[in-house]
Amino acid sequence: MKKAIVLYMHVHQPYRVRNYTIFDAGVNHEYFDAPYEHGTSNERIMHKVAEKSYLPTNRRLLKLLRAYPEFKLSLSITGTVIEQMEAWAPEALQSFVELTKTGRVEIVGETYHHSLAFFYSRREFEAQVKEHEKKVKEIFGQTPKVFRNTELAYNNDVAYWADKAGYKAILAEGWDAVLDWRNPNHVYRPSYTEKIKLLLKNYRLSDDIAFRFSNRSWAGWPLTADKFTHWLDESSDATNFNLFMDYETFGEHQWDDTGIFEFLEHLPKEWIKHKGHTFMTVSEVADAFDPADSLDIPNTVTWADTERDLSAWLGNGMQTSAIAALYNLEEKILDTKDEKLIEDWRKLQASDHFYYMCTKWFNDGDIHAYFSPYENPYDAFIAFMNAYHDLRFRLAQMGVAL
């Protein structure tokens, strides 16, 4: 019996809005060009992430791909992070291209702008998926065959759409509430679909690496590749272990000195020691196994927080009013056919902007758990809305009725 590790990592950086004031609105139409020394400087963050995470991780991944023919992985890379690497860290982008040249790194499809457009405008959503597909083809020479929605936001409708769009598989969170008695270590079939397979993140094992790895009060600490593969071995009811995580886990969320890179370097060797153990990309695992069961998931699940819903992005009035205001401009913006205006509007759709407005943790006083370039969620909202007002100003200047 074959058992595969399905390692999938998500690479993304948004265009953060600088401290854009009402006095900028109508005067300066650049929202994303914070001075280099500011916390919202996208260029600076890209330099930092490339140096701490992308370059050292890819160096090791390439080494592993060369050393172990069984080693494979999948990546999703948003359009906005590709653009930022093109502009500020071309060597990092090149290192991703090197990985895909091995033929054992699969690129997963998603929205170009890391948006929640699926829930607001199907037309806009499809345009962004197309745009991403084009960019991936151009940079990596692949056409995505597996789909993930932003933040792994998933429900029956997303699956139905992806099935009709011809994807082999779709990714989602393997949350207990949707799995019920099942485990995430099999391939599933979304209800109401015919061909597509559903791959569910094993959040316990994934989070052991992504979140708990450096936690000294965790019983599993210190986590070694040997110990980890031993845990996997103990699960007999399994065909595939879906380890899904943010790429920045390596070097950014878990720093070099935690030993995360050593863990990564030893994982393939420890895993393939045993007969029948292998690695698969997301479309390989979809091809390899039949669905164990079908899953009916009417309510949206995501990969965030204990709620596993959209409340980190759309949980308060600021978030919902900001996103509604933005999508209300859709027709007017698209009708202008003004590329710069449309692009700025799309950059503002990144889910990250709404995440920065989240007050869930802020109210608990646990602001350190709150990863944002802004001092607080209110400042994030104000800067975003001022940019929104400037979009309106630009429309008015073009003679569009508001």
Partner 1 sequence: MRILMLGWELPPHNSGGLGIACYQLSKALSERGADIEFVLPYTAKHPGVEFMRVNAATPQDVKEVMKSGMAYQSFKYIHKNGDVKELGMVDQTRIYEHAVGQIAKLAEFDLIHAHDWMTFRAALRAKAITGKPMIAHVHTVEADRAGKEFGGNPLCREIEETALSLADRVIAISERTREGIMREYGIPSHKIDVVYNHFDPTVDLNFLEQVDGADNAYVYLERMRQLGYGIVTNIGRITIQKGLTNLLRAFKLVHDRVPRSLLLLAGAGEQRDELVALAADLGIGDSVIFTGFQRGKRYGDTFKVGDVFAMPSFSEPFGIAALEAVAYGTPLVASKQTGATEIIKNCLTADYWDTHELANKITAVLQNKSLGEELSKNALREFDVRSWHDSAGALWDIYSQHTQEVYA
Q: Comparing C-alpha atoms, which of 149, 190, 175, 81 is closest to residue 313?
A: 149
158 touches partner 1 (CB under 8 A): no
Beta bridge partners of 295: 190
The number of C-alpha atoms within 13 Å of 282 and in the hemisphere containing its C-beta is 31
199 touches partner 1 (CB under 8 A): no
Closest approach of Cβ 381 to partner 1, in Å? Answer: 6
| Residue with smaller CB distance to partner 1, 82 or 385 | 385
DSSP type of residue 274: S
> Of these, 258, 316, 349, 351, which contacts partner 1 (CB under 8 A)?
316
| Residue with smaller CB distance to partner 1, 166 or 317 | 317
Contacts of 330-337 with C-beta under 8 Å, sequence gap 24+, read: 330/121, 330/124, 332/395, 332/400, 332/402, 333/391, 333/395, 335/400, 336/395, 336/398, 336/400
Is-contact 146 169, C-beta < 8 A? Answer: yes
Residues 110-149 that bind partner 1 (CB under 8 A): none
Taking residues 4 to 43 in sequence order and writing x for each that binds partner 1 by CB under 8 A, - otherwise, the string is: -----------------xxx-xxx----------------
Cα distances (angstroms) measured from residue 2 to each of 27, 32, 241, 271, 383: 62, 48, 11, 12, 52
> Of these, 142, 214, 311, 376, which contacts partner 1 (CB under 8 A)?
376
Say if strands 146-147 and 277-279 run parallel, antiparallel, or are unpaired. unpaired
> Of these, 32, 54, 241, 381, which contacts partner 1 (CB under 8 A)?
381
402 touches partner 1 (CB under 8 A): yes
For residues 300, 303, 304, 305, the Cα torsion angle rounded to the nearest 10 degrees is 90
Closest approach of Cβ 384 to partner 1, in Å? Answer: 10
The region of 192-200, 217-225, 252-260, 384-392 touching partner 1 under the rule CB under 8 A is 384-392
The region of 177-185, 275-283, 335-343, 379-387 touching partner 1 under the rule CB under 8 A is 379-387
**Distance of alpha carbon 376 from the chain centroid:** 23
> Of these, 179, 225, 325, 342, which contacts partner 1 (CB under 8 A)?
325
Catalytic (active site) residue 98: no
Per annotation, catalytic residue among 106, 110, 151, 173:
151
Say if strands 277-279 and 240-246 run parallel, antiparallel, or are unpaired. unpaired
**Sign of torsion over alpha carbons 43, 45, 48, 50:** negative
Closest approach of Cβ 376 to partner 1, in Å? Answer: 7
User: Residues with catalytic annotation?
Assistant: 151
Binding site for partner 1 (CB under 8 A): 21-23, 25-27, 316-322, 325, 359, 376, 378, 381-382, 385-386, 388-390, 392-393, 396-397, 402
